[in-house]
């Protein structure tokens, strides 16, 4: 453990941020197909820009879903319902260009086809899972605060208590650490889209009182905590009109806020045969259970796959100097406790359900909703016992 002080910053974005609009549409399409066809193969990409949604990708399924209607319904729920906001769910154009999954990929993924008889990984790639004991959710504190601030921006917008807010927004939180322990909030940055007729003073005061003070614990703030609220002075033009949105462009917001590593693959719009998604969820589950078991204060896990092959090509564990038992022993426990073949992960985490749209805003990890099976710490006792602690 280091004796130094340092600052670490993470950001999150609201459900109305253009990239998150795209993520939610992609996952809403996945959910609609998954509800009817558990054996679907979905890789759905969305682009949103002024007055337009464009859906593309590779989808193989036995069912039919009304993609334009799903896109519009998602945009309506987020809150873009007037051309004054630069985006309107009723009048935006929705275009689609969808192909089938390549049969060359399918034969390596489908059970009993290809070179190997097990269901193989849908692609090569490396996935990371991470956990830290600095919050009850076993997530990095800067990211958890940023997610909660963004979620709160949406809550007060939708319940009407801050009715001048619009869907687009961002939050960023800087935490001061001492000896690797979070001590205080140093800086909070919030950018919240708003109606033209609210004064800057009213907006700033309302956000400090109704958003920041409702989320950040009093004891984490002091007289030196800095606030930057809409630091350009104005944020009327926002959403897809101000900024083109794409699926998979918020991968650090989706994961660990820059703590821990990232393998590069996004989650949204992908069915769980894609290890980018399913193995990342499993890696988080394992890392979280290791920390919950008290084996380490921090844990990062890397799993890597080859396309068409079921067993991972490598597994790496890093407890960042906080482990109570050797890494090799932890690796043995993981291999003894968890089956890391894609079909086994899908079954263990119950991933063939329409649960994905919820994941597409405010983070895939650190969530308490029951659908988020990868957040369960059901194996902590088993791991603790095997470790002899």
> DSSP per residue over 43-108, as a string?
EEEEEEETTEEEEEEEEE-SS---HHHHHHHHHHHHT-EEGGGTEETTT-EEEEEEEPPPHHHHHH
Q: What percent of the chain has pLDDT over 90?
A: 90
Q: Which two tokens stand for residue 283?
A: 């890696």
Q: Which two tokens stand for residue 101?
A: 């999954």
d(CA 301, CA 75): 36
Q: Rounded mean pLDDT of 267-290?
A: 97
**Residue 227's pLDDT is what?**
97
Give the C-alpha distances (Å, rounded to integers) separating 274 from 119, 120, 270, 307: 11, 10, 6, 10
Beta-bridge mates of residue 97: 56
Average pLDDT, the chain: 95
**Residue 116's pLDDT is what?**
66
Q: Rounded mean pLDDT of 174-184?
A: 96
**Residue 156's pLDDT is what?**
98
Single out the residue of 193, 166, 379, 200 nearest to residue 287, CA to CA: 379
**Residue 84's pLDDT is what?**
78
This prediction's pTM: 0.96
**Residue 2's pLDDT is what?**
55
Each residue of 10-22: pLDDT tens digit? 999 999 999 999 9
Please, what's the b/e burial string for 182-207 (b: 16 or more CB within 10 A of its CB; e: otherwise)? beebbbbbbbbbbeeeeeeeebbebb
Helical (H) or strand (E) element with 60: strand 52-60
Identify whether the C-beta of residue 201 lies closer than 8 Å to the C-beta of residue 229: no
Residue 380 has pLDDT above 70, yes or no: yes
**Residue 82's pLDDT is what?**
87
**Residue 108's pLDDT is what?**
67
- Residue 138: partners with Cβ closer than 8 Å, 6 or more residues away: 131, 132, 288, 291, 292, 366, 377
Q: Rounded mean pLDDT of 245-249?
A: 98
Each residue of 303-326: pLDDT tens digit? 999 999 999 999 999 999 999 999
Give the C-alpha distances (Å, rounded to integers) separating 232 from 18, 190, 191, 235, 245: 19, 11, 9, 8, 21
> What confidence category does residue 364 fall into, taking pLDDT thresholds of 50, 70 and 90?
very high
For the chain, the maximum distance between any two Cα atoms, rounded to a whole number of angstroms, is 65
**Residue 83's pLDDT is what?**
79
Each residue of 107-163: pLDDT tens digit? 667 777 666 668 888 889 999 999 999 999 999 999 999 999 999 999 999 999 999
Length of the chain: 389
d(CA 184, CA 117): 53
**Residue 309's pLDDT is what?**
93
């Amino acid at each position: 453990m280091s004796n130094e002080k340092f600052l670490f910053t993470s950001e999150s974005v609201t459900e109305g941020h253009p990239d998150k609009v795209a993520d939610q549409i992609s996952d809403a399409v996945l959910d609609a197909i998954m509800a009817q066809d558990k054996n679907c193969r979905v890789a759905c990409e969305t682009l949103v820009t002024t007055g337009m949604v464009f859906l593309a990708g590779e989808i193989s399924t036995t069912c039919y879903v009304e993609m334009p209607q799903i896109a519009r319904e998602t945009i309506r729920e987020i809150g873009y319902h007037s051309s004054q906001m630069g985006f309107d769910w009723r009048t935006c154009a929705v275009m689609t260009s969808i192909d089938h999954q390549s049969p060359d990929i399918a034969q390596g993924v489908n059970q009993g086809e290809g070179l190997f008889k097990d269901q193989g990984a849908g692609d090569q790639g490396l996935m990371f899972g991470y956990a830290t004991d600095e919050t009850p959710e076993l997530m990095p504190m800067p990211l958890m605060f940023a997610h909660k601030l963004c979620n709160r921006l949406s809550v007060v917008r939708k319940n009407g208590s801050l009715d001048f807010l619009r869907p687009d927004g961002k939050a960023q939180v800087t935490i001061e650490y001492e000896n690797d322990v979070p001590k205080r909030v140093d800086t909070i940055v919030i950018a919240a889209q708003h109606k033209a007729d609210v004064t800057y003073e009213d907006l700033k005061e309302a956000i400090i009182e109704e958003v920041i003070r409702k989320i950040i614990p009093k004891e984490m703030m002091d007289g030196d905590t800095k606030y930057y609220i809409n630091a350009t002075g104005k944020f009327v033009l926002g959403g897809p009109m101000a900024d083109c949105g794409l699926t998979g462009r918020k991968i650090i917001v989706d994961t660990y806020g820059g703590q821990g590593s990232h393998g590069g693959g996004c989650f949204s719009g992908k069915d769980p045969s894609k290890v980018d998604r399913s193995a990342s969820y499993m890696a988080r589950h394992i890392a979280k259970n290791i920390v919950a078991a008290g084996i380490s204060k921090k844990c990062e896990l890397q799993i890597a796959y080859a396309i068409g092959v079921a067993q991972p090509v490598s597994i790496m564990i890093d407890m960042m100097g906080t482990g109570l038992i050797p890494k090799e022993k932890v690796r043995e426990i993981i291999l003894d406790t968890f089956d890391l073949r894609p079909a086994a992960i899908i079954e263990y985490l119950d991933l063939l359900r329409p649960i994905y749209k919820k994941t597409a805003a405010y983070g895939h990890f650190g969530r308490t909703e029951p659908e988020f099976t990868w957040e369960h710490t059901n194996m902590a006792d088993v791991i603790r016992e095997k470790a002899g602690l």
